[in-house]
């Protein structure tokens, strides 16, 4: 059995744990050969392959990033790339492909599956917004990093009597904002799921600074937006590839808050720090569990599915069920984030 493997989209800590698990389990239990494609779908289109065996995965468990490299590349969107992908798979005599990615990469995977290729997906994204799974690889590490940042910001915010905005990633969903906000005890949490009213935020800050403390921490997801019809006019600022321009919402909020309250207000954008460095034990374990489940699924003839965590069990969900959906933060979690201000 020859199994292709790629990591696509933004990197996350825990990818190497999944790669390692696939290679070890594949070789030892199923006698499989694992063929890696460098830089996501791009490597499949270009025929950029590397063989993956025990020497390549030695000591990678604690390492962040992905030993395969990654890229934001969609075979269906680039001219002729789908044909190139199919040609590489044929030339390399690949029986099935394991695709580790977030919504974009997994969406591409379902398109490749439509061409008759056997696929098993593994969800990874620090945004934790892949439908069908309670957790994606990388989320736990990102929340850990963001929580530590909030803890550190707190002491300097208090010393200087400042309002400090901490911007975290999360384009369509505020999982990092809500969970790091709760864990770090942020006074205000702003997430895409619940558009905010700047006047309400300002009222809350003024009340706190009058009654309880002279500093506040606001955790804001990069995709947070003001509610329609409220006082702040703002359109999410997008870059060349449709990505959110880091810092744009928080810089804008800084000006609005400073102007309306007179409080000394500053911004920290965590950015790619959230995606870097060593994975937490939880992400190493999740990556390992997903890796084993993915290669076992192929050996059992179960394909065009994604590994998922549901009620602490690893299950397989059809790829077609998750494509195009976003897993939003539930109301209860957002309520907890706001209730403890």
Active-site residue list = 127
37 DSSP β-pair partners: 49
Helix or strand (DSSP H, E) at 194: none
Binding characters for ligand F6P, 145-184, by CB under 6 A (x = yes): ------------------------xxx-------------
- Nearer of residues 131 and 215 to ligand F6P, judged by Cβ: 131
Decide if 68 contacts 7 (C-beta within 8 A).
yes
Task: Please give the structure tokens belonging to residue 33.
Answer: 């050969």
Among 99, 120, 126, 177, binds ligand F6P (CB under 6 A): 126
- Say how far apart CA 161 and CA 164 lie, in whole Å: 9
- Nearer of residues 41 and 215 to ligand F6P, judged by Cβ: 41
Decide if 169 contacts 221 (C-beta within 8 A).
yes
Specify the residue for token string 């989209």.
9
User: Counting contacts by CB under 6 A, is residue 102 touching ligand F6P?
Assistant: yes
Minimum CB separation from ligand F6P for residue 72, in Å?
6
- The two beta strands, 188-190 and 216-221, are parallel
User: Counting contacts by CB under 6 A, is residue 14 touching ligand F6P?
Assistant: no
- Nearer of residues 4 and 13 to ligand F6P, judged by Cβ: 13
Residue 119 CB neighbours (<10 A): 24
Minimum CB separation from ligand F6P for residue 277, in Å?
14
Residue 324 CB neighbours (<10 A): 10
Site for ligand F6P in 22-41 (CB under 6 A): none
Among 35, 164, 244, 322, binds ligand F6P (CB under 6 A): 244
- The two beta strands, 2-7 and 188-190, are unpaired
Minimum CB separation from ligand F6P for residue 23, in Å?
25
Residues in touch with ligand F6P (CB under 6 A): 9-10, 72, 102, 125-127, 169-171, 222, 243-244, 275
């Amino acid at each position: 059995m020859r199994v292709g493997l790629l990591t696509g989209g933004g990197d996350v800590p825990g990818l190497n744990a999944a790669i390692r698990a696939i290679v070890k389990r594949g070789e030892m239990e199923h006698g499989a050969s694992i063929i890696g494609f460098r830089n996501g779908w791009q490597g499949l289109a270009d025929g950029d392959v590397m063989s993956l065996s025990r020497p390549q995965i030695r000591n990678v468990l604690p390492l962040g990033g992905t030993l395969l490299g990654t890229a934001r590349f969609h075979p269906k969107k680039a001219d002729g790339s789908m044909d190139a992908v199919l040609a590489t798979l044929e030339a390399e005599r690949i029986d099935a492909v394991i695709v580790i990615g977030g919504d974009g990469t997994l969406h591409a995977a379902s398109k490749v599956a439509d061409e008759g290729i056997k696929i098993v997906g593994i969800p990874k994204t620090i945004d934790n917004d892949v439908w069908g799974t309670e957790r994606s690889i990388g989320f736990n590490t990102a929340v850990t990093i963001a929580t530590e940042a909030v803890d550190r910001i707190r002491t300097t915010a208090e010393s200087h009597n400042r309002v400090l905005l901490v911007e975290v990633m999360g384009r369509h969903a505020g999982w990092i904002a809500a969970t790091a906000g709760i864990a770090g005890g942020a006074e205000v949490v702003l997430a895409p799921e619940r558009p905010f009213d700047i006047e309400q935020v300002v009222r809350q800050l003024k009340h706190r600074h009058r009654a309880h403390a002279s500093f506040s921490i606001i955790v804001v997801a990069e995709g947070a937006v003001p509610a329609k019809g409220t006082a702040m006019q703002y359109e999410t600022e997008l870059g060349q590839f449709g990505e959110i321009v880091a810092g744009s919402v928080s810089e804008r909020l800084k000006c609005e808050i400073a102007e309306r309250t007179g409080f000394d207000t500053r911004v920290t954008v965590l950015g790619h720090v959230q995606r870097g460095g060593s994975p937490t034990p939880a992400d190493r374990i999740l990556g390992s569990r997903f890796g084993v489940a993915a290669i076992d699924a192929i050996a059992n003839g179960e394909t065009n599915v994604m590994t998922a965590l549901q009620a602490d069990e690893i299950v397989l969900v059809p790829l077609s069920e998750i494509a195009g959906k976003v897993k939003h933060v539930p109301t209860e979690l957002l309520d907890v984030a706001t209730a403890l201000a």
